[in-house]
Amino acid sequence: MTRLTPRVGVTGRFAIAAALGALTVGLLAMFAVDRYATAALRARVEASDRDLAERIAVGFDDQILRGIAALKREGQAEDLLTLDRARATPALAAALRAPSDYAVLTLHDRMGRAIASAAAGSLADPSRLPTRRDVVDRVRADGSAISVASGRVPTMEIAVAVESPPGTVVGVLIAEMSLEVVGNTIASFRVGRDGSASLLDQQGATLVHRDRGRVVRSHHVEITPSVASSAAFTRIDRQDGQEFIVSVAPTKVFPGAVALERSIADATGPVSGGRRNLTLIVLISVAATAVAISMAARRVLAPLKPLAAAVADLGSGDASARAPEPKRGDEIGLLSVQFNRMANALEERMTDLRGTNHRLADAQQRLDDAFTNAPIGMAMLSLDGRLQRVNQALLDLLGYAEDAVLGGTFEDVAHPSDVGRGGPPGGADPGDAGSVSGIEMRLLRADEATVWVVMNISIVSDAEGAPVQLFAQIQDITDRKAIEEELRRVDRAKSEFVANAAHELRTPLTAVSGFAELLNHRDTMSAEDVAAVCAGLQRQGTRARILVERMLDLLRIESGTIATTLQPLPVDAVVRSALALAPAPDDRTVEIALDPDLVVVADDVALEQVVSNLLTNAYRYGGRAIAIRGSQSNGLVRIMIEDDGPGVSPTTAAHLFEPFNRGRDVMGPGSGLGLAIVRKLMASMEGTIRYEAREPNGARFVLDLRGHRGQGPRG
Amino acid sequence: MGKVLVVDDESDLSLMVRMALRMAGHESLEATSGEEALEVLAGQAIDAMLLDLHLPRMDGWEVLQRVRADPACRELKIIVMSAHSSPGTKERAAHLGSDAYLTKPFALEELTNIVASALA
């Protein structure tokens, strides 16, 4: 998530920009003011110095005049020259060269006060020389040197050319520097300690420091004609570290020049002060500008904050987020309005989408439910046949838990004989057109039981039609298969029955048709023969009829068209009426041994038929003595019909109650259906019949039927 | 014309066949079981035997085999009778040495013809 609070906001940027702008403006102003101030100051200093130089020059001239006048008064300056400037210089020079000449030098400060004076002349008497309080030899940074006299130096200095005749001692003040202005130039000559002098060039002034005649340093000052009337500044750094401005101005009265020295500190003092003030002003204005700009910016940008908040809210899903609509119509206000319109449209769309999503989720849910709750097994498989999703019906069908099945294939649970019949359509190639339906195969359940299923597999494609999954429906058809099998069996049985029946009919019909045909020749037959034929016809016809009747009986019982009414019946009575239906032949005896109170729940007609059939069977296949016994226990009535005949072999006994099974070891014209009918009749009365061998020999048929409750449990 | 032994456990059928045979001029004897048939064959000279396959205890197949195994009965013509008409049964009968096959139900004429041709 990107930071939503800017590190340096618009306000900040504006403030910084404004501050930088103000700073730039301020610095430029300072620079300009500085230069202007310096220039103004310089001009002012120049002007004042010029003025001062003038005054000093005048004063100096004045003093020199007075000095000279004093000298004159004292009678020492007889041959002082007049102060005619035009001739002054050579005259002065000449006068100063005179061996007996002397000059009085006076140093004045700005105020015109004499600072020091010196006299030059023959110094036969050194004690007449004025003394200096202090003489400082200064070597200027530019190489010039000036001897200064006075403790108040360095406010002002005057350099004067002095020449002393050879041999004279020029007191302790040695003006090592001299400037002489000749006309518009300066000419100078020098007097050294050793009395040597030199003449400088006339184009400028070279300040030369000599020591014992050797030039130690020199500094040249250009003096132009215009300078003669103005002051020329030279900046000079003195040995004691102070800075000075030297200006040279010509004296008016006396040919010479006045050099003014002024401390830079003094001169620039006001400028520094001014500069400091200016710096302060600039800083304050920068700060004020920054503050003003940032306040303005903040005001302008204020509506952006709620707009940003609204955007953030909208972004995190709150469709109702809106920005406050501004009163004024600037760009930010417009942005807020546009944002709100966009938010409105978005909200609408979101509501639509939500609705669609709900419907989709709904549909998906219903589909899922349909899948999960479907009554037949369903599965989603990958294209290579792996189970990805199964429903409960399929799990129930297979008897596995879900996690045992997912990831596997149908082949894993297929019956070994049916492996390969299931699986994805067309093997692993999903490109095969379409689905497979109606595959019948067996699957093995978890409990090893087999289920028959019919499987339909279809291909699920995506929107572009590419196959993505397989959908399988699996239906348990075990019951249907069982029914089909049963139907087949019943069909077979029916066919067999029909075949057997037809087969059984062949013999009597052969006899009937044969006898009938024989009767065609009755004319050639004896009466006994004819009688025998007729009797045979009758017998076989009856036999055929009975056979058909019994078959129909069997069918009727099976199809349930014979109604049985179960009611309590006295066993004794039923047995006796059955005996009446099937009376014993002469060579047989039938013994009835049962409790006369024995009551059974049965159908009277059916039970009668059962007993009579069994009696007939006994007469046909059994022995001489036949017995009918009855008993009851635990609500069950048991009737037994037994004989002492040959009985039935075990192999025959196994199929005894099946239709048409007379067995190989019995003879006779029975229909072969008697016992089958008996079994069906017993079943229709909810009873059972079974055969058991009688010891030592004979057959016993055991009938079990429901007893009547009224007799009590012990019976 | 010939002495014919009728072997069938169904007495009415046996009666009918015997009467038909008599009418056709043959002498007929009857046996109701395989054992009885063998007894008769052992005791008399029989020209032809009508043998029902479906007999109690010893069935017709066994009788057929025994008779054919007996060198004394080499000349005996055996006509097998049966309700089965499947080719398998007929083939088996022929394979075991029967001379003719009669499928029930048959017309009397068919019976007499077969017997006549067998005795011829």
Nearest to A524 among B10, B23, B56 (CB): B23
For residue A319, what pLDDT is reported? 77
Mean pLDDT of A403-424: 80
CB neighbour class for A94 (10 Å; exposed up to 12, middle 13-18, buried from 19): middle
Q: How far is CA A401 from the centre of its chain?
A: 36
Q: For the segment A647-681, what is each residue's pLDDT rounded down to a tens digit?
A: 888 888 888 888 776 654 444 456 667 788 888 88
The whole-number pLDDT of residue A72 equals 54
Rounded Cα–Cα distance for residues A406 and A386 (Å): 7
- Stated pTM of the model: 0.42
Give residue-wise pLDDT tens across range A70-109.
Answer: 555 655 443 333 233 333 334 334 433 433 223 344 433 3
Average pLDDT over residues A398-418: 88
Identify which has the larger pLDDT, A165 or B71.
Answer: B71
Inter-chain touch B13–A517, beta carbons under 8 Å: no
Whether the Cβ atoms of residue A407 and residue A387 lie closer than 8 Å to each other: yes
At residue A357 the predicted structure's pLDDT band, cuts being 50, 70 and 90, is very high
- Say if residue A312's pLDDT is above 80: yes
Alpha-carbon gap: A512 to the closest alpha carbon of chain B (Å)? 9
Q: A568 to each of A573, A704, A707, how far by Cα in Å?
A: 12, 14, 8
| Per-residue pLDDT, A151 | 22
Tokens of A64: 């020199």
Would you state the pLDDT for residue A66? 58
What is the predicted pLDDT for the residue at A179? 32
pLDDT, position A691: 92
pLDDT at A110: 35
User: Within 13 Å of residue A394, how many CA atoms lie on the same side as its CB?
Assistant: 24
pLDDT digits (tens, 9 = 90+) for A465-489: 898 999 999 999 988 888 888 888 8
Is the confidence at residue A356, as pLDDT, over 90?
A: yes
Per-residue pLDDT at A242 exceeds 50? no
- Rounded to an integer, the average pLDDT of A520-534 is 88
pLDDT of A178 strictly over 80: no
More confident position, A412 or A271: A412
Higher-pLDDT residue of A247, A135? A247
B9-25 per-position pLDDT tens digit: 888 889 889 988 988 88
In percent, how much of chain B has pLDDT > 90? Answer: 20
d(CA A168, CA A18): 75
pLDDT digits 0-9 by tens, A584-633: 888 889 999 988 889 999 998 889 989 998 998 888 888 889 999 999 88
Cα separation, A510 vs A541, whole angstroms: 10
Residue A438 gets the label, from left (phi > 0), alpha (psi -120 to 50) or beta, of left
Highest mean pLDDT among A38-42, A69-73, A348-352, A646-650: A348-352
Q: Test A514 with B108 for CB contact under 8 angstroms.
A: yes
Q: Nearest residue of B to residue A506 by CA position?
A: B105
CB contact at 8 A, A433 and A344: no
| Interface contacts A/B by beta carbons within 8 Å | 64
- Residue A212's pLDDT band, with cuts at 50, 70 and 90, is low
What is the model's pLDDT at position A233? 41
- Report pLDDT for A376: 92
Query: Could you tell me the pLDDT band of residue A58, with boundaries at 50, 70 and 90?
Result: low
pLDDT at A160 over 80: no
pLDDT tops 60 at residue A224:
no
Let me know: does A502 contact B96? Beta carbons within 8 Å. no
In this structure, the dihedral spanned by the alpha carbons of residues A288, A290, A294 and A295, taken in order and rounded to 10 degrees, is 0
Measure B105 CA to nearest chain A CA, in Å. Answer: 5
Q: Which residues of A touch B83 (CB under 8 A)?
A: 503, 506-507
Across the interface, whether the CB atoms of A521 and B23 are under 8 A apart is answered yes
Q: Look up tokens 């404004």; give the residue.
A: A18
Q: What is the pLDDT of residue A165?
A: 30
Mean pLDDT of chain B: 88
> What is the spatial distance between Cα A283 and Cα A289, in angstroms, rounded to a whole number?
10
Q: A690: helix, coil or strand?
A: strand
Measured in angstroms, the CA of A682 and the nearest CA of chain B are apart by: 29
| Mean pLDDT value across chain A | 69
For residue A64, the model assigns a pLDDT of 53
Express each pLDDT in A273-282 by its tens digit.
667 787 888 7
DSSP codes, A460-499: EE-TTS-EEEEEEEEEE-HHHHHHHHHHHHHHHHHHHHHH
Q: Distance from A650 to chain B by nearest Cα, in Å?
A: 15
What was the pLDDT predicted at A70?
A: 56
Interface contact B108-A518, CB threshold 8 A = yes
In chain A, residues 635-664 whose CB comes closer than 8 Å to chain B: 664
- The residue among A216, A211, A207, A218 whose CA lies nearest residue A257 is A207
Q: How confident is the model at residue B29 (pLDDT cuts 50, 70, 90)?
A: very high
Peptide bond into A696 cis (omega under 30): yes
CA–CA separation, A696 and A698 (whole Å): 7
How far is C-alpha B81 from the chain's CA centre?
7
| Assigned token pair, A450 | 């087999």
**pLDDT tens, residue by residue, B55-74:** 878 888 888 888 888 888 88
Average pLDDT over residues A541-567: 80
Alpha-helical segments (H) within A560-596: 571-581
A509 contact B CB<8A: yes
Average pLDDT over residues A318-344: 81
* Mean pLDDT lowest among A230-244, A388-402, A613-627: A230-244
Which structure tokens are listed for A703?
């009938």
Q: From CA A126, how far away is CA A124, in angstroms rounded?
A: 6
Residue A365, pLDDT above cutoff 60: yes
Contact state of A669 with B10 under an 8 Å Cβ cutoff: yes
CA distance A114 to A440: 145
User: Is the model's pLDDT at A366 over the cut of 90?
Assistant: yes
Q: Check residue A198 and give its pLDDT.
A: 42
Interface contact B104-A506, CB threshold 8 A? yes
Higher model confidence: residue A499 or residue A630? A630
Q: Find the mean pLDDT for residues B94-98.
A: 88
